[in-house]
Structure 1
Amino acid sequence: MLARLQSATGRDDLIEQMVLLPEPKKPFSKKPQTAKGVNLIVAYDASPNSHTALDIAFWIAHQTRLATNAEVTVQAVYVIEDNQSIQYPNILTFPQQQPSFECEVSQVSKSVTQVLTQPKLQTAIAPLQQADIILWQARSLAEEWQGSFKSHLRFGSIAIELKKVVESETADILFLGCNSVNHPMIEALGFNFPCAVLGIPSCIEE
């Protein structure tokens, strides 16, 4: 996939720039998997860098479909975590350890007004409205590429929730909106992450 991207952009250093965590080594005794679609996961929070990561994922998905006729799905993951006071630039908010759970935006929107008192309602609705807008932006970009797309709204630790989505969706690649292996999120994901992790190339600013 990255080789095709390099060829299209006329560069020969994208693989070196973009691979933040390599694909994990598979056990030798593991049986070959049956043919399946390709799943590309993007950590998305509507920041410029995460938007670039999503755009690159759609471009790679499009080129892969053209070259292989494989079914490629791009999935955007947005995580709401309780403590949003600690932030790192160019990537999703870096979380504290929090209980995690998953739900659909529509389900939350329907049920939250029935179970919360007014003060709690105002506190809860704001992040959910922001999440809905952010995921709508991702869906709009998916429509431009006319590709297969899914979105996930998760609650808890960003690193933990990304790993859960990657595992549950049997993802091939996780895209992050950062361009350095020294980014705190890479350390949080750990070096035993279940799929390759790609960032955005620093040359994109040139």
Structure 2
Amino acid sequence: MLARLQSAIGRNDLIEQMVLLPEPKKPFSQKVQKVESVNLIVAYDASPNSHTALDIAFWIAHQTRLATNTQVTVQAVYVVDNNQSTQYLNTLNIPINQPPLECSISEISNSVTLVLTQPKLQAAVTPIQQADRILWQARSLAEEWQGSFKSHLRFGCIGTELQKVVELEAADILFLGCKSVNHSIIEALGSNFPCVVLGIPSCIDE
């Protein structure tokens, strides 16, 4: 995938720049299995870098479909960090020792409507409204690429929740909007992450 990207933009250093965590070693029996679908996960928060990561993911998905006729799904994951999620749950009187939440965007829209009927709780809606807006941006980009797309909203520790989604969806690649292995989120993911992690190339700024 990266080789095709390198060829398309005339660079020969993207693999070196973009691979932040290498692909984990797999048993030989898994390596020889025919690939019928590919899942690309993008950590998305609407920042310019995460937008670049999502755009690259869609470009790679598009090129992979053309070259291999393989089904490729791009999935955007937005994680509301522990502080925000704890504040939200406490305001709604939900026990904070419950497992981390995952919601589809349709469920989010319904919960926003219900909470807005209670003026005293309007302040608690802010993280949900923000998440709805962020994931709407990701969906809008997906429509431009006309590709298969899913979105996830998670509450909790960013590294932990990203790993859960990657494992749940059997992801092949996680895209992050960062350019260095020294980024704090790379450290949070650890060295035994279940799939390869790609960042964005520094040549984007050139």
**TM-score bracket for this pair, using the shorter chain length:** 0.7 to 0.9
8 Å CA contact 2:105, 2:153 repeated in 1:
yes
Corresponding residue for residue 49 of structure 1: 49
Instruction: Note the C-alpha offset of 1:2.
Output: 0.1
The percent of aligned pairs where both chains have the same amino acid is 77
> What is the aligned partner in structure 2 of residue 162 from structure 1?
162
* Paired position in structure 2 for 1:178: 178
Tell me the residue number matched to 2:149. 149
Distance (whole Å) between structure 2 residues aligned to residue 123 and residue 82 of structure 1: 17
The question of 1:58 aligning with 2:58 is answered yes
Query: Equivalences for 1:1-206 in 2 at 5 Å?
Result: 1-28=1-28, 32-33=32-33, 35-83=35-83, 99-111=99-111, 113=114, 118-119=119-120, 121-206=121-206
Give the 3-state SS of the residue equivalent to 2:79 in structure 1. strand
1:114 shift after superposition: 5.9
Structure 1 stretches of 5 or more lacking a match?
85-97
> Partner of 1:87 in structure 2?
none
* CA-CA distance at 1:80 after TM superposition: 0.9
Give the aligned length: 192
SS of the equivalent of 2:194 reads coil
Say which SS state the counterpart of residue 46 (structure 2) adopts: coil
Amino acid at match of 1:141: L
Q: CA deviation at 1:81?
A: 1.9
The alpha-carbon deviation at position 27 of structure 1 amounts to 3.0
SS in 2 for 1:192: coil
Higher mean alpha-carbon deviation, 185-194 vs 27-36, is at 27-36
> Residue 28 and residue 64 in structure 1: after superposition, are their counterparts in 2 closer, same or farther (change >3 A)?
closer
Stretches (4+) displaced over 6 A: none
TM-score, scaled relative to structure 2: 0.86
TM-score w.r.t. length of structure 1: 0.86
Long gaps (5+) in structure 2: 85-97
How far is the alpha carbon of 1:32 from its aligned partner? 4.8
Structure 2 distance, partners of 1:100, 1:182, is 27
